[in-house]
Amino acid sequence: MDLLPHLVDLNADYARAIDNDELERWPDFFLDPCLYKVTTADNLAHGYESGIIYADSRGMLQDRVTALRQANIYDRQRYRHIVGLPSILARNGTELRVETPFLVVRTMRTGVMDLFATGRYLDVVPCDDERQSLRFRERLVVCDGARFDTLVALPL
Amino acid sequence: MDLLPHLVDLNADYARAIDNDELERWPDFFLDPCLYKVTTADNLAHGYESGIIYADSRGMLQDRVTALRQANIYDRQRYRHIVGLPSILARNGTELRVETPFLVVRTMRTGVMDLFATGRYLDVVPCDDERQSLRFRERLVVCDGARFDTLVALPL
Amino acid sequence: MDLLPHLVDLNADYARAIDNDELERWPDFFLDPCLYKVTTADNLAHGYESGIIYADSRGMLQDRVTALRQANIYDRQRYRHIVGLPSILARNGTELRVETPFLVVRTMRTGVMDLFATGRYLDVVPCDDERQSLRFRERLVVCDGARFDTLVALPL
């Protein structure tokens, strides 16, 4: 199985779920347990473990979606992910390590757009069961920079 | 026929025609009759029919190119489309429904660059004749936000 | 050999070398001798030969990396390339002519992000030896606009 087209689909669909206000689909892109962490390139370079956002189960991801819904966050802002092509860094029989660049533009309800974040995804994606769709075991979101000016924000 | 590479080519060539000042090629990406409409995510969510730009024939698209040439619009601004990977949403024997994210940066003659628009293309692309290149029956340009500060603008 | 996936890999890896602070790998993406030139769309349209950056050997590219290291440029700024899909413009038995759009976001040490450059790569890529990885004989970087506010900058 050539996995690159499947990785492209996974990334495109992940971005569409967030950008098109289908947040309830977001946890389904992850296995359970999982690791989803948003951090910065500086934190990563210094070996700091703490992230800006952290979840290690699908339940924690679902809780985050619930919180975002209660805050009506999507009414106030939306994202547009432009995701580059995935690079497969390593592959063994059971999983892939993948790096993918991204850029996110945020549009506020007022119509103001700004460059919200850029960076790269560092993913671990099991590929041992060809009958299953690909999902993330880990998605580490490493931001070059980001406008972390809100306590509640949509997922990256 | 695997259609994804053809959709990628269609989108890449469409963007090149606009960004590289080959506007006369732009109407040829559409069938005749067609639907080309630029609208916003808010308008689409509210079911408003009206768009910011509307054309339903290749002739109307050609008229728009003529108007842009008379206004020398390309001398004053240029675009750079960064188009994401197309997602095929539905497919029957004769046509595809496709969603593709985009971002457009505008560079003014003065050298000033800004983020001009982000959004997604919602396309209907007939695929019943393998001998023909793919063209748009419909291209709905749904902007998340955009700097609609000019009456005359290049196509998105 | 279908060359498009190899061109995609070449472009993705090129961008990763620059964005992930592996500048020493950058000269290896070129043949020797080569042509690497950064210019603007206006200069290209007027036929001006001079570029903002010019190198015609791998040694010149290596010298540039050395200068950037001595200036500790990466400590002060980093780039994120979002590279679109390559369009193969022409192909003969021994080389490809390729056009690829790009966008670069710059993040300063302070965390400030800005849109640094957009444009297109115009490449000449020999493809006569299937055993070798693809490399650039020529990479002409044609910027629509760019923030050339620093004398020393990372490669585009």
Tell me how close the Cα of B16 comes to any Cα of chain C, in angstroms. 9
- Of all residues in chain C, the one with the smallest CA distance to A4 is C5
The per-residue pLDDT for A150 is 59
* CATH code linked to domain A4-146: 3.10.450.50
pLDDT exceeds cutoff 60 at A115: yes
Among A82, A99, A119, the residue with its CB nearest the CB of C16 is A99
Write the ipTM.
0.89
Residue C63, Ramachandran bin (φ over 0: left; ψ between -120 and 50: alpha; else beta):
alpha
Q: Which of the two residues, B149 and C144, has the higher pLDDT score?
A: C144
Confidence of residue C89 (pLDDT cuts 50, 70, 90): very high
**Given pLDDT bands bounded at 50, 70 and 90, which one contains residue B85?**
confident
Give mean pLDDT, residues C2-18.
89
Name the band, by pLDDT with cuts 50, 70 and 90, for residue B104: very high
Point out the residue among A16, A105, A112 whose CB comes nearest to the CB of B118.
Answer: A105
DSSP E strand stretches across B71-135: 77-83, 87-91, 95-108, 113-126
Would the CB atoms of C101 and B115 count as touching at under 8 Å?
no
Q: What is the pLDDT of residue B132?
A: 74
Q: Please list every residue in chain A whose beta carbon sits closer than 8 Å to the beta carbon of residue B144.
A: 19, 78, 80, 105, 107, 113
Question: Chain C closest CA to A59's CA: distance in Å?
Answer: 32
Q: What is the pLDDT of residue A149?
A: 63
Q: Is the pLDDT of residue A43 over 90?
A: no
Chain C residues touching residue B78 (CB < 8 angstroms): 41, 144
Give percent of chain B above pLDDT 70: 96
Q: Which tens digit of pLDDT belongs to each residue from C101-115? A: 999 999 998 888 999
Question: Across residues C86-99, what is the average pLDDT?
Answer: 91
pLDDT at B152 over 60: no
pLDDT at B149: 64
pLDDT value at A80 more than 60: yes
Q: What is the mean pLDDT of chain B?
A: 89
Please check the confidence at residue C1 and state whether its pLDDT lies above 70. no
Contact B118, A113 (CB under 8 A): yes
Mutate one of B105, B106, B115, B147 to test the C interface: name it (highest C CB count within 10 A): B105
Q: Calculate the alpha carbon distances from C12 to A99, B25, B105, C6, C80 in Å.
A: 10, 29, 21, 10, 11
Question: Which chains pack against A, by 3+ Cβ pairs within 8 A?
Answer: B, C
For residue C39, what are its two tokens?
A: 């210019």
Residue in C4, C41, C103 closest to B105 by CB = C103
* More confident of the two residues B69 and B51: B69
Length of chain A: 156
Closest by CA to C10, choosing from C106, C128, C124, is C124
Domain boundaries, chain B: 4-146
Residues of C in contact with B12 (CB under 8 A): 84-85, 87
Taking all residues of chain A, what is their mean pLDDT, rounded to a whole number? 89
Chains that touch B (3 or more CB pairs under 8 A): A, C
Contact B145 A115 (CB under 8 A): no
Q: Looking at the partner chain, which of A84, A145, A147 has a beta carbon nearest the beta carbon of C82? A: A84
What is residue A147's predicted lDDT score, i.e. its pLDDT? Answer: 75
Cα(A110)–Cα(B49) distance, integer angstroms: 21
What are the C-alpha distances in Å from C153 to residues B40, B107, B138, C104, C116?
A: 37, 20, 43, 12, 11
- Kindly report whether the global pTM for this prediction surpasses the value 0.90: yes
Q: What are phi and psi of C72, to 5 degrees?
A: 50, 40
Chains touching chain C at 3 or more Cβ pairs under 8 angstroms?
Answer: A, B
**What share of chain A in percent tops pLDDT 90?**
62
Q: What is the pLDDT of residue A83?
A: 93
In the structure, what pLDDT confidence band is assigned to residue B131 with cuts at 50, 70 and 90?
low
* Rounded Cα–Cα distance for residues C51 and C146 (Å): 13
Interatomic CA distance for residues C114 and B113, integer angstroms: 10
Q: Cβ contacts (< 8 Å) between A101 and chain C: which residues? A: 15-16, 19, 80-82
- pLDDT reported for residue C55: 95
**Record: contact B119-A78, CB cut-off 8 A:** no
Strands (E), chain B: 30-40, 53-55, 77-83, 87-91, 95-108, 113-126, 136-146
